[in-house]
Structure 1
């Protein structure tokens, strides 16, 4: 049906209810940013978080359940880029600039609303205009694609590097090695 927001997904002919609130999608994205988890753990974690009765999905249908989850999290039948883009958003790091931008579009504090469908939030993202969030994403995009920054963008980047650069999480071993080197120095 046109305009319907999915609250269930069909996996190999069987309908499974999902948690369609945007907070669940953000939890999934946050989990997927966890470098301590391998791809299999991330996929299964996604299924556990998204599907209300994930334990009823047969093992033989887990791949299809993951594909349907990806379809839902990507916003459905939206046109996709053929090449894998470099991530421009880190949901954990960018929370402080994402919500003010979404609130501006929504005209209210969306975190105070008990329920908002993930696709509604995606729609709000599409309407974000000028502001801090769009400046940060624009500069990240240009840097990721080796495009030249304007003089104003260069100044903004220089003054807001902490905000713009997506922080890389180190594994425990990498952090130990870095700490060891720093202690030597």
Structure 2
């Protein structure tokens, strides 16, 4: 799909039937937050995701989930190859969550859209997810959320000056995202680090 050539979709085709899909940016934000929530069992996430996107849930659940992922990825099929379950969606969302979080960065994102596009995300009744994502990816560097994502993503390397290293470490600390792992996941990660050392 090409957002410049193709009309953004409001239905998905499953087994020869067109199903209406909820295209509002808020739904896909809620989906991303749902996938990142470690307190919800995977099977519950699946049910909740299907109910978020579909008024009428298709009988073919595997295809329905596949189409959710396709829609969430804005039609970029190469990004979701071999992704046909919520676990893969959860992993994709965790990767995306490394530099931003719709839950944690809501005020920064809200103000960036208002500043750059004149769009009040509170007042707008509907904005298609694909259009929202295109605008989100294109936020200018002078918006605070863009700077914050830059701080979170920068790799502190040995060729940086000591002042730069100190500055970026401080910025990473100030703008760090909360750790959403469960206690068990934290312990497993700690055990993995220890086993790699010894």
TM-score (norm 1): 0.75
Please state how far the C-alpha of 1:78 moved relative to its aligned partner: 6.6
Aligned twin of 2:23: 20
Aligned twin of 1:177: none
Specify every segment of 5 or more residues in structure 2 that has no aligned partner in the other structure, as ranges. Answer: 82-90, 186-198
Q: Residues of 2 paired with 1:118 and 1:153: CA distance? A: 37
Larger deviation, residues 78-87 vs 113-122: 78-87
Aligned twin of 1:158: 170
Give yes or no for contact 2:69–2:80 (8 Å, CA) kept in 1: no
Aligned twin of 1:129: 140
Give yes or no for contact 2:73–2:80 (8 Å, CA) kept in 1: no
Q: Residues of 1 paired with 2:27 and 2:80: CA distance? A: 24
Give yes or no for contact 1:7–1:17 (8 Å, CA) kept in 2: yes
User: Mapping of 1:167-178 within 5 angstroms?
Assistant: 167-169=178-180, 171=182
- Compared CA separation, residues 92 and 147, structure 1 to 2 (3 A): farther
Q: Residues of 1 paired with 2:125 and 2:103: CA distance? A: 20
Matched, 1:69 2:68: yes
Aligned twin of 1:51: 54
- Compared CA separation, residues 156 and 9, structure 1 to 2 (3 A): same
Select which of 101, 105, 111 maps to 1:90. Answer: 101
- Compared CA separation, residues 79 and 171, structure 1 to 2 (3 A): closer
Larger deviation, residues 89-98 vs 1-10: 1-10
Aligned twin of 1:117: 128
RMSD of aligned C-alpha atoms? Answer: 3.1
Deviations 1:125-149, CA, capped at 9 Å, x for gaps: 1221112111111122225xx6567
SS in 2 for 1:10: strand
Deviations 1:11-62, CA, capped at 9 Å, x for gaps: 22211101111111111112112111233322221111011212xx21xx11
Select which of 18, 31, 37 maps to 2:34. Answer: 31
Aligned twin of 2:6: 3
How many residue pairs were aligned?
167
TM-score (norm 2): 0.71
Please state how far the C-alpha of 1:95 moved relative to its aligned partner: 0.8
Give yes or no for contact 1:47–1:66 (8 Å, CA) kept in 2: yes
- Compared CA separation, residues 81 and 51, structure 1 to 2 (3 A): closer
